[in-house]
C-alpha cells in the first residue's frame, strides 16, 4: 500500500501475514520514501508491523511537538552528523553539541520524538535514518543511510520540506488504511 507522493513523501507498506497478537499486528514491511529514495527494508517478511503503526499514531498525536533542539542549524549534513554523534558515539564527555549541552540535545531528541526511523523493529535494518522536525506550517524530513566508517554514507542524504498538513494527511491516511487492513480500526 503506497500512501502519498513517492517523489516528495510517502509511506509504502505491505502486510504479508496478519497475526492475532496486537503487540505484533502482522508481518510485512514498512518503508518511508523521501524524494524518490526508499528508507527501510522492502521484503515481504522484513518485520513485525506494530512498532511502525504505533510510531505513526504517536507521531500524529504529537503534531507540532517534533521541535529541534538547535533551530539555528540548517545544514542537513551537520544535522545528520549531530544525530549520529549524540545517539551512537560512546563516551558522553559533556562536550557541547554546536553550543548546546549534549545531555539536553539527547533528551530533546527522545522527548520530541525527532527520530522517525528507525522505529524500534527490523523495518530499518538497512541502516537508514529519517529525522522529523515540525517547523511552523512545514515539516522537514532528513533521511540518510549510516556508513561503515562515516556518520552517514556520502551522497545518501535527502532533505525534504513539505506542508505540515500534507505530511500529517499522509500519516493519517496510512493509519486508517493500515488499521482497516489489519482489522484494528
| Angle, alpha carbons 67-59-24 (nearest 5°) | 145
Which pLDDT score is estimated for 122?
A: 84
Residue 98 has pLDDT above 90, yes or no: no
Residue 92 has pLDDT above 70, yes or no: no
Which pLDDT score is estimated for 113?
A: 94
Q: State mean pLDDT over 109-121.
A: 90
Residue 156 has pLDDT above 80, yes or no: yes
Q: Which residue has better confidence, 22 or 164? A: 164
Q: State mean pLDDT over 22-39.
A: 95
Q: Which residue has better confidence, 142 or 85? A: 142
Which pLDDT score is estimated for 94?
A: 62
Cα–Cα distance list, 116 to 13, 52, 181, 184 (Å): 15, 9, 23, 22
Q: Which residue has better confidence, 105 or 16? A: 16
Mean pLDDT, rounded, of the chain = 89
Q: Which domain, by its residues, includes 101?
A: 2-182
Task: Assign residue 102 a region (left: φ > 0; alpha: ψ between -120 and 50; beta: otherwise).
Answer: alpha
CB burial of 37-74 (b: ≥16 within 10 Å; e: otherwise) equals bbbbbeeeebbbbbbbbbbbeebeeeeeebebbbeeee
Which pLDDT score is estimated for 150?
A: 64
Q: How confident is the model at residue 59 (pLDDT cuts 50, 70, 90)?
A: very high
Which pLDDT score is estimated for 149?
A: 61
**With 0-12 CB in 10 A as exposed, 13-18 as middle and 19+ as buried, what is 149?**
exposed
Grid coordinates belonging to 31:
518503508
Q: How confident is the model at residue 73 (pLDDT cuts 50, 70, 90)?
A: confident
Please give the tally of structural domains in the chain: 1
Amino acid at each position: 500500500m503506497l500512501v502519498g507522493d513517492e517523489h516528495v513523501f510517502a509511506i509504502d507498506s505491505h502486510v504479508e501475514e496478519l497475526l492475532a497478537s496486537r503487540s505484533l499486528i502482522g508481518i510485512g514491511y514498512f518503508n518511508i520514501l523521501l524524494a524518490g529514495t526508499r528508507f527501510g527494508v522492502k521484503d515481504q517478511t522484513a518485520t513485525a508491523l506494530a512498532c511502525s503503526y504505533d510510531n505513526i499514531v504517536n507521531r500524529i498525536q504529537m503534531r507540532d511537538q517534533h521541535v529541534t533542539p538547535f533551530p539555528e542549524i540548517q545544514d542537513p549534513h551537520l544535522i545528520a552528523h549531530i544525530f549520529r554523534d549524540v545517539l551512537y558515539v560512546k563516551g558522553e564527555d559533556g562536550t557541547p553539541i554546536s553550543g548546546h549541552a549534549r545531555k539536553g540535545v539527547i533528551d530533546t531528541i527522545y522527548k520530541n520524538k525527532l527520530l522517525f526511523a528507525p522505529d524500534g523493529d527490523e523495518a530499518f535494518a538497512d541502516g537508514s535514518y529519517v529525522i522529523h522536525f515540525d517547523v511552523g506550517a512545514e515539516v522537514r524530513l532528513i533521511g540518510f543511510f549510516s556508513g561503515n566508517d562515516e556518520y552517514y554514507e556520502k551522497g545518501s542524504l535527502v532533505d525534504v520540506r513539505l506542508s505540515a498538513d500534507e505530511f500529517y494527511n499522509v500519516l493519517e491516511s496510512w493509519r486508517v488504511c493500515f488499521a482497516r487492513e489489519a482489522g484494528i480500526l
